[in-house]
Amino acid sequence: MDATDPLYAQVAAHYRQAITAGTMPPGSRMPSVRTLMGLHRVSLSTALQACRLLESQGLLQARQRAGYFVRPPRPTRLARAAEPRQTQADPARFVGVHERISEILTRGIAARPEVNLSGACAHPSLYPTRALALHGQRLLRRRPEILGTQPDPQGLLGLRQALSRLALNAQIQLDPSQLVITHGCTEALSVALRAVTRPGDAVAVESPTYYGLLQLLESLGLRALEIPTSPHTGLSVEALEAAAAQEPRLKAVVVVPNLQNPLGAVMPDAAKQALLASCEARDLALIEDDTYALLCDTPQRAIKSWDTTGRVIFCSSLHKTLAPGMRVGWIAAGRWQPRVEILKYAQSRPNEMLGQAILAEFLAGGQIERHLRALRAKLATQREQMAEALSDELPTGTRLSMPPGGPSLWVELPEGLSSLALFDAALEKGVRLGPGLMYSNSDRFDNFIRINAGNPMDEAQRRAIATLGALCASMLRR
Amino acid sequence: MDATDPLYAQVAAHYRQAITAGTMPPGSRMPSVRTLMGLHRVSLSTALQACRLLESQGLLQARQRAGYFVRPPRPTRLARAAEPRQTQADPARFVGVHERISEILTRGIAARPEVNLSGACAHPSLYPTRALALHGQRLLRRRPEILGTQPDPQGLLGLRQALSRLALNAQIQLDPSQLVITHGCTEALSVALRAVTRPGDAVAVESPTYYGLLQLLESLGLRALEIPTSPHTGLSVEALEAAAAQEPRLKAVVVVPNLQNPLGAVMPDAAKQALLASCEARDLALIEDDTYALLCDTPQRAIKSWDTTGRVIFCSSLHKTLAPGMRVGWIAAGRWQPRVEILKYAQSRPNEMLGQAILAEFLAGGQIERHLRALRAKLATQREQMAEALSDELPTGTRLSMPPGGPSLWVELPEGLSSLALFDAALEKGVRLGPGLMYSNSDRFDNFIRINAGNPMDEAQRRAIATLGALCASMLRR
């Protein structure tokens, strides 16, 4: 809560926290408008506005003449995503899915679909692009010479300071000198992997995982050890332990502990600590991808926050949280920091100043917390609405993860349905989705799809979901 | 020459071309102002302005009552840079100079020297940063959403089109689809090397060469085969041939045929063609670094312009020519294009839109040719002035390359002088330079220094050169 927020938003934030924390469980009654007026010493219209905000965020529902009630957090018709059937990892192997991934991506783009349900990012309108652009205009007017000046090797100090402050949210204490600015989180992951592996080494990853990570491993000649991962609690540390014992060339684990992509899982703190302990015991580098963490409905700790030996390489970016059109990431590589600085400098030299300066000014203005609160609330609403649409349209037997934040839903289709076949059929009807085959080196996730709830729900999206439902039904009849 | 230039600039350009081409050799008399008035049908003041422009560019000198004469192109006291003593390459070996390079760079920056003679870039005031910034302001005002929109994987089409047009200057025909935008030329070289080598392979490079290339090879676990290189005609194709015969794991040659860094050499067209033929015969990838080419006093062909089999990987950037504060490079990788696209995408995802859009708009405006003409003329003057200062101050026995373009001078100190010792002593007196040891994996160039003539000559720089002269003299006496 921010004292500069309007009063009704402050009141709403109070109850949103209580609802998210479970203090006010689904179905429980919201204090009446009159009670709110007394409790918070606000006017009738302020109390009403607070309730309406929570309603628009999908947290409350109004029942006629009975007032507001906490809304059930997920539609009931679709079953909760199942735990992985695999409990053990397959042996590590060289990644060979780039061609498939890139073929799917290229086809998806070329088809110019009317509705794009792939992607894992919020709609541009949900980002403060106008405020960022104003900072940019002012910078270019006052300091045009930044376009002619060589940037600082580690990145702009003002930005590194702001990012260190931002990292406090994840309970990480970082000195600005321990950060290097990179071209997005992808470059951070790229130099992290290069710092701790050699071609032919094995790297443990979540299964399913972000296809970009698979492409990166493939391009570096690394073998992927895919570890079974729960849609709710994330990477199975037990399965990792068992697999690590069998793989002498395992050098690193890459993990997205908060809002894993595509699952949306958040690892419990105990699991995060167990993973760190396991990496310590086996002398593995722990590469933590923090891309989505700031989109969690409630703040989560980073694994890096427990790191006392410099074993965690923390990689993040503002790409999903603040500005999808900008490529500013960062890396805090602990004991590998000197090596990472060398690799970043040799690979692409420092980032240019302009983008860094825009972000530094925005962050210094202190508006990010308010932006993030609004973004999280909107994404929560959109996830709910998308889940409802899926629940209305997809066949019985469909299961769904309801992640506690972020833009993505991970959908398990009934047995026997191929997401790749669905991808093809849907593309013909102007709808694009992310078929599960993109997220693993195996064929294990062919009956899964990733659906983006990052865009405000509208009629076109509802129709697209209905199209998917009809296609699934006809494929099941065949 | 550009018909939109003012008349006096058009007249000056006419004679500049004649002087640079040698049609009007040093010492020859410039037509009198009265003759110019008749020949070009211009006013007295226009004719005078043309002569003064050429004088300010260091091409003419006024002799009292006798008119203008073509100025000797280089100071006569310093001998011309010598051809390399080595004619054969040492065996390829793993690069181990990163630590030395980075120590020198860090020390140089930390000392906050009053005068910086290292670097290889023109002063920010010589770039059209204000015009670029105006494009940026307009873009951010009209299209703030580009900060929130995911960029095109290959790079902005408008920019790729403009760069294809720019490549026509080097006689290269490129389709925009054959280009990928990268984070500077460094990332282009990084993905080029990754596309054609595996760790442990050997790569032929010029000796001396840009230290960033040595750092890159080291970071990729590649061995450098340093080929003797003339300060005048560039890489010795003969020496390359001999060395290649001895090195079975040689996979690629990286070459800067136009204004090699640090030498400033330009390879004759015949040598460029011979190098390409040699790479064809031995099945080597030819990676052409074009960074400085547009700074050549007279236009030069790229090796890529003779490439009919897709063997040349062309890497370039606008970093030195248009905007040192921006990181926009590009790569046209011929037969390796698909692999390069994968590697770039996996390594760092596409460049952000803002910088690309600014450059695309500037290039579409057609102002780059005029900017480049002005930049070349200013650099020519500054090189002359710097060479004069060096000639006045450095001890007898000093030799100097006078490159036909670019910001750098390569200076050979008298035998026995160590540039590293000079670097240390100069830094204490507030002067930074580039010691020769940075430019080779060997110790062969310790009595060389690279001097940046990119900054307008001023009293501080003149004093700094005098300081270097005094230090050299006292070191020689010891």
What CATH number is given to the structural domain containing B406? Answer: 3.90.1150.10
Tokens of B465: 């050169």
CB contact under 8 A, B129 and A147: yes
Angle between helices A459-477 and A368-393 (to 10 degrees): 40
The CA-based diameter of chain A, rounded to the nearest angstrom, is 67
For residue A85, being part of any structural domain is answered with no
Compute the distance between CA of residue B422 and CA of residue B420 in angstroms, rounded to an integer: 5
Q: Which of B347, B358, B371, B378 to mutate to test the interface with A (most CBs of A within 10 A)?
A: B347
Q: Which of B183, B342, B358 is facing A183, going by the closest CB pair?
A: B183
A283: exposed, middle or buried (Cβ count in 10 Å: 0-12, 13-18, 19+): exposed
**Ramachandran region, residue A65 (left: φ > 0; alpha: ψ -120 to 50; beta: rest):** left
Q: Which of A147, A150, A183, A351 to mutate to test the interface with B (most CBs of B within 10 A)?
A: A147
pLDDT of residue B3: 62
Is the four-CA dihedral B270, B276, B278, B281 of positive or negative sign? negative
Judgement on whether residues A294 and A227 belong to the same structural domain of the protein: yes
pLDDT of residue A26: 79
| Residue whose token pair is 């080779």 | B440
Computed over its alpha carbons, how large is the radius of gyration of chain A?
A: 23
CB contact under 8 A, A215 and B345: yes
Tokens of A120: 């894992």
CB contact under 8 A, B136 and A140: yes
Element (DSSP H or E) covering residue B211 = helix B211-219
Judgement on whether residues B140 and B60 belong to the same structural domain of the protein: no
Question: Which residues constitute the domain of residue A284?
Answer: 129-368
Q: Quick count: other Cβ atoms within 10 Å of Cβ A365? A: 11
Residues of chain A contacting B198 with CB distance shorter than 8 Å: 199, 221
Closest residue in A to B146 (Cα) is A325
Closest residue in B to A339 (Cα) is B219
CB contact under 8 A, A347 and B150: no
CB contact under 8 A, B348 and A121: no
Closest residue in A to B192 (Cα) is A347
For residue A83, being part of any structural domain is answered with no
Closest residue in B to A328 (Cα) is B352
pLDDT of residue A278: 98
* pLDDT tens digits, one per residue of B261-296: 999 999 999 999 999 999 999 999 999 999 999 999
Residue A472: φ, ψ to 5°? -60, -45
Give the three-state DSSP class for B258.
strand
CB contact under 8 A, A347 and B130: no
* Overall residue count recorded for chain A in this entry: 478
CB contact under 8 A, A354 and B219: no
For residue B98, being part of any structural domain is answered with no
Q: Which of B119, B127, B347 is facing A190, going by the closest CB pair?
A: B347
- Name the band, by pLDDT with cuts 50, 70 and 90, for residue B66: confident
Compute the distance between CA of residue A40 and CA of residue A46 in angstroms, rounded to an integer: 10
Tokens of A222: 């690394």
Which residues, 6+ apart, have CB-to-CB distance to A7 below 8 Å?
Answer: A40, A42, A46
For residue B1, being part of any structural domain is answered with no
Judgement on whether residues B198 and B63 belong to the same structural domain of the protein: no
Mean pLDDT of B111-117: 94
Q: Which CA distances in Å does B414 have to B79, B81, B140?
A: 11, 12, 54
CATH code of residue B39:
1.10.10.10
| Residue whose token pair is 């199975």 | A236
CB contact under 8 A, B194 and A219: yes
Interface size A-B, in CB pairs within 8 Å, comes to 185
For residue A75, being part of any structural domain is answered with no
Judgement on whether residues B280 and B331 belong to the same structural domain of the protein: yes
* Beta pairing, strands B448-452 & B434-435: antiparallel
CB contact under 8 A, A354 and B98: no
Q: Which residues pair with A254 in a beta bridge?
A: A205, A287
* Beta pairing, strands A234-235 & A223-230: antiparallel
Judgement on whether residues B176 and B150 belong to the same structural domain of the protein: yes
Q: Total domain count for chain B? A: 3
Q: How far is CA A302 from the centre of its chain?
A: 13
* pLDDT tens digits, one per residue of B392-416: 999 999 999 889 999 999 999 998 8
pLDDT of residue A308: 97
Of the candidates A217, A300, A312, the one whose C-alpha atom is nearest the C-alpha of residue A255 is A312
CB contact under 8 A, A346 and B216: yes
Q: According to the 3-state scheme, what is the secondary structure of chain A?
A: CCCCCCHHHHHHHHHHHHHHCCCCCCCCECCCHHHHHHHHCCCHHHHHHHHHHHHHCCCEEEECCCEEEECCCCCCCCEECCCCCCCCCCCCEECCCHHHHHHHHHHHHHCCCCEECCCCCCCHHHCCHHHHHHHHHHHHHHCHHHHCCCCCCCCCHHHHHHHHHHHHHHCCCCCHHHCEEECHHHHHHHHHHHHHCCCCCEEEEEECCCHHHHHHHHHCCCEEEEEEEECCCEECHHHHHHHHHCCCCEEEEEECCECCCCCCCECCHHHHHHHHHHHHHHCCEEEEECCCHHHECCCCCCHHHHCCCCCEEEEEECCCCCCCCCCCEEEECHHHHHHHHHHHHHHHCCCCHHHHHHHHHHHHCCCHHHHHHHHHHHHHHHHHHHHHHHHHHCCCCCEECCCCECCEEEEECCCCCCHHHHHHHHHHCCEECEEHHHHCCCCCCCCEEEEECCCCCCHHHHHHHHHHHHHHHHHHHC
Judgement on whether residues B257 and B352 belong to the same structural domain of the protein: yes
CB contact under 8 A, B219 and A346: yes
Q: Which of B148, B215, B350 is facing A323, going by the closest CB pair?
A: B148
Q: Quick count: other Cβ atoms within 10 Å of Cβ B306? A: 17
CATH code of residue B304:
3.40.640.10
Compute the distance between CA of residue A289 and CA of residue A294 in angstroms, rounded to an integer: 12
- Name the band, by pLDDT with cuts 50, 70 and 90, for residue B21: low
pLDDT of residue A2: 53
pLDDT of residue A74: 54
pLDDT of residue A21: 64
Residues of chain A contacting B323 with CB distance shorter than 8 Å: 147-148
Compute the distance between CA of residue A62 and CA of residue A33 in angstroms, rounded to an integer: 12
Q: Which of A327, A328, A361 to mutate to test the interface with B (most CBs of B within 10 A)?
A: A327
Q: Which of B127, B349, B355 is facing A352, going by the closest CB pair?
A: B355
For residue A258, being part of any structural domain is answered with yes
pLDDT of residue B332: 98
Rounded to the nearest angstrom, the minimum Cα separation between A98 and chain B is 8
CB contact under 8 A, B327 and A352: yes
Which residues, 6+ apart, have CB-to-CB distance to B274 below 8 Å?
Answer: B237
Q: Which of A146, A214, A215, A354 to mutate to test the interface with B (most CBs of B within 10 A)?
A: A354
| Residue whose token pair is 């009807």 | A429
Residues of chain A contacting B141 with CB distance shorter than 8 Å: 133, 137
CB contact under 8 A, B148 and A134: no
Judgement on whether residues B111 and B38 belong to the same structural domain of the protein: no
A168: exposed, middle or buried (Cβ count in 10 Å: 0-12, 13-18, 19+): exposed
* pLDDT tens digits, one per residue of A120-132: 999 999 999 999 9
Does B67 score more than 70 pLDDT? Answer: yes
CB contact under 8 A, A148 and B129: yes
Q: Which residues pair with B411 in a beta bridge?
A: B400, B449
Judgement on whether residues A19 and A156 belong to the same structural domain of the protein: no
CB contact under 8 A, B150 and A186: no
State chain B's mean pLDDT as an integer.
92
| Residue whose token pair is 């970009």 | A212
Tokens of A377: 């609330």
- Name the band, by pLDDT with cuts 50, 70 and 90, for residue B173: very high
Compute the distance between CA of residue B240 and CA of residue B252 in angstroms, rounded to an integer: 11
Residues of chain A contacting B124 with CB distance shorter than 8 Å: 145, 148-149
Of the candidates A337, A476, A356, A432, the one whose C-alpha atom is nearest the C-alpha of residue A104 is A432
For residue B245, being part of any structural domain is answered with yes
Rounded to the nearest angstrom, the minimum Cα separation between A132 and chain B is 8
Are the C-beta atoms of residues B190 and B347 closer than 8 Å to each other? yes
pLDDT of residue A1: 46
| Residue whose token pair is 């100043």 | A353
pLDDT of residue B114: 95
Mean pLDDT of B90-114: 89
Judgement on whether residues B393 and B457 belong to the same structural domain of the protein: yes
Of the candidates B80, B34, B3, the one whose C-alpha atom is nearest the C-alpha of residue B399 is B80
Mean pLDDT of B55-72: 82
* pLDDT tens digits, one per residue of A409-429: 999 999 889 999 999 999 999
Tokens of A160: 């590194």
Q: Which of B127, B144, B150 is facing A129, going by the closest CB pair?
A: B144
Element (DSSP H or E) covering residue B316 = strand B312-317
Residues of chain A contacting B140 with CB distance shorter than 8 Å: 133-134, 136-137, 140
Residues of chain A contacting B184 with CB distance shorter than 8 Å: 348-349
Q: Which of A124, A137, A151 is facing B145, going by the closest CB pair?
A: A124
Q: What is the DSSP string of B58-114?
A: TSEEEETTTEEEEPPSS-SSSEEPPPPS--SPPPPEE---HHHHHHHHHHHHHT--S
- DSSP code for B408: E
CB contact under 8 A, B147 and A132: yes
Residues of chain A contacting B350 with CB distance shorter than 8 Å: 327
Compute the distance between CA of residue A166 and CA of residue A174 in angstroms, rounded to an integer: 10
Judgement on whether residues A145 and A294 belong to the same structural domain of the protein: yes
Cis peptide before B262 (omega within 30 of 0): yes
Judgement on whether residues A363 and A431 belong to the same structural domain of the protein: no
Rounded to the nearest angstrom, the minimum Cα separation between B108 and chain A is 13
Closest residue in A to B216 (Cα) is A346
Instruction: Point out the residues of chain A with pLDDT beneath 70.
Output: 1-4, 21-22, 73-76
Rounded to the nearest angstrom, the minimum Cα separation between B375 and chain A is 13
Cis peptide before B268 (omega within 30 of 0): no
Where is the domain boundary, A317, A342, A368?
A: A368
Residue A61: φ, ψ to 5°? -130, 145
Q: Which of B199, B343, B349 is facing A219, going by the closest CB pair?
A: B343
Residues of chain A contacting B145 with CB distance shorter than 8 Å: 124, 129, 325
Mean pLDDT of B417-433: 96
Give the three-state DSSP class for B203.
strand
- Name the band, by pLDDT with cuts 50, 70 and 90, for residue B1: very low
Q: Which of A125, A144, A325 is facing B133, going by the closest CB pair?
A: A144
Judgement on whether residues A283 and A338 belong to the same structural domain of the protein: yes
The residue among B243 and B22 whose pLDDT is bigger is B243
Q: Which CA distances in Å does B440 have to B209, B215, B241?
A: 6, 10, 20
Is the four-CA dihedral A158, A161, A165, A168 of positive or negative sign? positive
Of the candidates B326, B344, B294, the one whose C-alpha atom is nearest the C-alpha of residue B188 is B344
For residue A2, being part of any structural domain is answered with no
Compute the distance between CA of residue B218 and CA of residue B199 in angstroms, rounded to an integer: 10
Compute the distance between CA of residue A64 and CA of residue A43 in angstroms, rounded to an integer: 22
Q: Which of A127, A146, A184 is facing B325, going by the closest CB pair?
A: A146
Compute the distance between CA of residue A194 and CA of residue A324 in angstroms, rounded to an integer: 25
Compute the distance between CA of residue A358 and CA of residue A136 in angstroms, rounded to an integer: 5
CB contact under 8 A, B147 and A184: no
